[in-house]
Amino acid sequence: MMQALPGPYLLFLGDISEPSYAKTAFGLRDWAPERCVGELRCDGAGVTTGLAPMAPADAYAAGARSLVIGVANAGGHIPVSWMPSLLQAMEAGLDIVSGMHTRLADVAPLRDAAQRLGRRLIDVRQPPSGIPVGSGRRRSGKRLLTVGTDCALGKKYTALALARAFAARGIDADFRATGQTGILIAGGGVPMDAVVSDFAAGAAEMLSPDAAAGHWDVIEGQGSLFHPAYAGVSLALLHGSQPDVVVVCHQPGRERVLGHPDFALPTIEDTIALALQLGRRTNPAIRCGGVSLNTSHLDPTAALRLLDDERERLGCAVADPMRGGAAFERLVEDCLA
Amino acid sequence: MMQALPGPYLLFLGDISEPSYAKTAFGLRDWAPERCVGELRCDGAGVTTGLAPMAPADAYAAGARSLVIGVANAGGHIPVSWMPSLLQAMEAGLDIVSGMHTRLADVAPLRDAAQRLGRRLIDVRQPPSGIPVGSGRRRSGKRLLTVGTDCALGKKYTALALARAFAARGIDADFRATGQTGILIAGGGVPMDAVVSDFAAGAAEMLSPDAAAGHWDVIEGQGSLFHPAYAGVSLALLHGSQPDVVVVCHQPGRERVLGHPDFALPTIEDTIALALQLGRRTNPAIRCGGVSLNTSHLDPTAALRLLDDERERLGCAVADPMRGGAAFERLVEDCLA
């Protein structure tokens, strides 16, 4: 399905005001820029990708063939306020691509317009059929899983950057996508959070099958083992991935769980400890390869100082993959060690 | 839906030879005997409920109005070998009730026969619509969750027995079903393992809503936090249930995870410790009310001795709810303390 996605894309940002909900749009901008011609926002929306704003007709004229819903909200529903923009896009000739829980074809106005205009409604979050129950069987090849202190703080970017860095060193490596944005970037994967619970660990096993001894699967983490809504997904992914290496991802300064202000964020140390404790169940040799910090809110000097301080404090490699440099080189080396 | 289930039932055991897969049939026999007229097995099947064997036509003559598929297998699919029995039941006038993952209406021969004969195909495992994402918000009232060292060893029976014992003491208590058998017995509930992963904790929250301060929800546990396939479901249920009390359920002598012989069973102590460690995230006051042992394979003297020894060793109430007695009284008291 993914190979047939109609591109390039017009990125739709809806009317959100919280950048953390625009992971899909930012991910496509950063990791598949050649597939993005511009962005479309509802009136008054506060979040932008920095790409050129475009009306659907102009985007179509510039080559776009689909509008990608580049934002998510808790629960994954499509609000009524987005409908005029989506209908306008179909009128202009664009298909609609979505990674939300709600199936596009279940929204009557979209279904009707698609039928009338001959447009496609493509749900990236539809899991593949035939997912087995997890077996726990040890598989050949090597696996790395990114594990977070929370949602939306760098697990996908870290996995993408590590997979690229592994490949740059001549190592056979695949990025394995577990969420809608990753799937749009990678052209395949399993949308973990849409899998029925009983099959979630089996889906993770399916995503990183037996491979050559020297091959690495670099698997995009989901949620957090401490998250009051999503910890079950994270644990199923950890067990099914049976990673040899975890890299713990965190955003310095974030103190509360995103969208759940009553919940304090776990510390990096507690997150490492719990991932290793629980991950040992399916891979007794699991270890922590290091820590990835999202320092996008800091200036370069402050970021470098923080990475140094945290490496000292935690006693392991600490890097911001988006800044690269010696710290990231050390993280890559420690993961492969 | 559950109130309208056509009864009484003919219990179907398929062709299984492993009693642990017949939880639904045994549960209905033990907890809703007035709804069961007999059992039907495929030729050569080794497992029986002890109820009278009946051909579908005889069961219909005896009052049965549906055949309940009383067994499960890994993955929840309906094997071809069951088809003649199920078709025969529909010919005889019975509707089909199933708690398996496979939807009955997705099996072409069943769908066709149901249409031709005017029978109903009823899937108990269909989750309700409108399940929210978990919020983690603390709810009023008291909650108890049964937690297992493995699948299929007494979590449902323990919850049913505790709910009855609470009610017998004049305490306002509800058994909350999370699996197909429990739902058939209770007349309602949420089939946790069929819920999409992202909503699993939210489903558990929905199952045990705000209640009066003195009210107890006694929630049926699922899987095990150590299970290579189902730990994610167990963690979502633990977080969403936010139990005040957990009761750890175990079958003495079981040393390997059912169906996963490469995995050693966790100890009771490790299961208590992990349930409290992870459960604290949504209920900091969580405590262990005691241990429930399934001693059905022991004679009464050996069972009583084991319960005594384990109480001594573990330092908490240890009972077999199916044997009752002073040990069970103490477990009930310690849960309510």
- If pLDDT is split at 50, 70 and 90, which confidence band does B76 have? confident
**Omega before residue A8 within 30° of 0, cis:** yes
**Tokens of residue A97, six digits:** 């691509």
CA nearest to B310, candidates B256, B272, B336, B279: B272
Q: Do B232 and A229 touch (CB under 8 A)?
A: no
Q: Do A194 and B197 touch (CB under 8 A)?
A: yes
- Domain B2-123 matching CATH 1.10.1040.10: the answer reads no
Question: φ and ψ at B52, to 5 degrees?
Answer: -60, 130
Say what the pLDDT of residue B304 is.
97
Q: What is the pLDDT of residues B42-65, one digit of tens each?
A: 886 789 999 999 999 999 999 999
Q: What is the pLDDT of residues A44-59, one digit of tens each?
A: 678 999 999 999 999 9
Residue among B197, B226, B229 whose CB faces A232 most closely: B197
Q: What is the pLDDT of residues A289-299, one digit of tens each?
A: 999 999 999 99
Q: Do A200 and B239 touch (CB under 8 A)?
A: no
- Would you give the DSSP letter of residue A216? E
Chain B closest-CA separation from residue A203 CA (Å): 10
Beta strands A256-257; A260-264: pairing state:
antiparallel
Question: φ and ψ at A143, to 5 degrees?
Answer: -135, 140
Q: What is the pLDDT of residues A76-95, one digit of tens each?
A: 788 899 999 999 999 999 99
Residue among B192, B196, B232 whose CB faces A235 most closely: B232
Say what the pLDDT of residue A3 is.
37
Residue among B75, B236, B262 whose CB faces A232 most closely: B236
Residues in A touching B235 (Cβ below 8 Å)? 231-232, 235
- Across chain B, mean pLDDT equals 94
Nearest-5° angle of CA B299, CA B227, CA A179? 160
Residue B3 in this model has a pLDDT that exceeds 70: no
Q: Do A134 and B196 touch (CB under 8 A)?
A: no
- If pLDDT is split at 50, 70 and 90, which confidence band does B2 have? very low
% of chain A residues with pLDDT over 70: 98
Rounded Cα distance between B91 and B109, Å, is: 13
Residue among B134, B232, B263 whose CB faces A197 most closely: B232
Q: What is the pLDDT of residues B247-296, one digit of tens each?
A: 999 999 999 999 999 999 999 999 999 999 999 999 999 999 999 999 99
Say what the pLDDT of residue A1 is.
32
**Tokens of residue A24, six digits:** 């899909």
- Across chain A, mean pLDDT equals 93
Q: Do B239 and A231 touch (CB under 8 A)?
A: yes
- If pLDDT is split at 50, 70 and 90, which confidence band does A4 have? low
Residue A184 in this model has a pLDDT that exceeds 90: no
Beta carbons of B72 and B15 less than 8 angstroms apart: no
CA nearest to A6, candidates A89, A83, A79: A89
Beta carbons of B122 and B66 less than 8 angstroms apart: yes
Q: What would the mean pLDDT of A100-129 be, rounded to a whole number?
A: 91
B9, β-bridge pairs = B36, B66
Q: Do B260 and A235 touch (CB under 8 A)?
A: no
B256, β-bridge pairs = B264
- CB atoms near residue A137 (< 10 Å): 12
Question: Which residues does A contribute to its contact with B (CB < 8 Å)?
Answer: 74-76, 101, 132-137, 192-198, 200-202, 226, 228-237, 239, 260, 262-263, 278, 281-282
Q: What would the mean pLDDT of A120-148 be, rounded to a whole number?
A: 94
> Does an H or E element contain A318, and which?
strand A318-319
- Tokens 């009232």 label which residue? B141
- The CATH number of the structural domain formed by A142-336 is 3.40.50.300
Q: How far is CA A265 from the centre of its chain?
A: 19
- CB atoms near residue B94 (< 10 Å): 27
- If pLDDT is split at 50, 70 and 90, which confidence band does A6 have? confident
Intrachain domains A2-123 and A142-336 with the same fold: yes
Say what the pLDDT of residue B4 is.
52
Say what the pLDDT of residue A7 is.
85
Say what the pLDDT of residue A2 is.
32
- If pLDDT is split at 50, 70 and 90, which confidence band does A254 have? very high
Q: What is the pLDDT of residues A140-172, one digit of tens each?
A: 999 999 999 999 999 999 999 999 999 999 999
Chain A closest-CA separation from residue B207 CA (Å): 15
Beta carbons of A112 and A177 less than 8 angstroms apart: no
Q: What is the pLDDT of residues B201-229, one digit of tens each?
A: 999 999 999 999 999 999 999 999 999 99
Q: Do A196 and B195 touch (CB under 8 A)?
A: yes
- Would you give the DSSP letter of residue A133? P
Residues in A touching B229 (Cβ below 8 Å)? 133-136, 198, 201-202, 239
- If pLDDT is split at 50, 70 and 90, which confidence band does B128 have? confident
Residue ranges of the alpha helices (H) in chain A? 23-31, 56-61, 83-91, 108-117, 155-168, 180-186, 200-207, 231-241, 268-279, 300-314, 325-336
- If pLDDT is split at 50, 70 and 90, which confidence band does B183 have? confident
- Tokens 């009946």 label which residue? B54
- Tokens 């490596």 label which residue? A173
Question: φ and ψ at A219, to 5 degrees?
Answer: -100, 130
Q: Do A196 and B196 touch (CB under 8 A)?
A: yes
B235 SS3 class: helix
**Tokens of residue B126, six digits:** 């269909």
Q: What would the mean pLDDT of B172-198 be, rounded to a whole number?
A: 90
Q: What is the pLDDT of residues B153-170, one digit of tens each?
A: 999 999 999 999 999 999
Q: What would the mean pLDDT of A119-141 be, rounded to a whole number?
A: 93
Residue contacts between A and B (CB atoms, under 8 Å): 128
**CB contact set of B247 (below 8 Å; sequence gap of 6+):** B144, B145, B146, B147, B158, B162, B288, B289, B290, B291, B292, B331, B335
> Does an H or E element contain B89, and which?
helix B83-91
E strands, B112-203, in order: 121-123, 142-148, 173-176
**Please, is B250 exposed, middle or buried when counting C-beta atoms within 10 Å of its C-beta (0-12, 13-18, 19+)?**
buried
Say what the pLDDT of residue A225 is.
98
The residue ranges of every structural domain in chain B are 2-123, 142-336
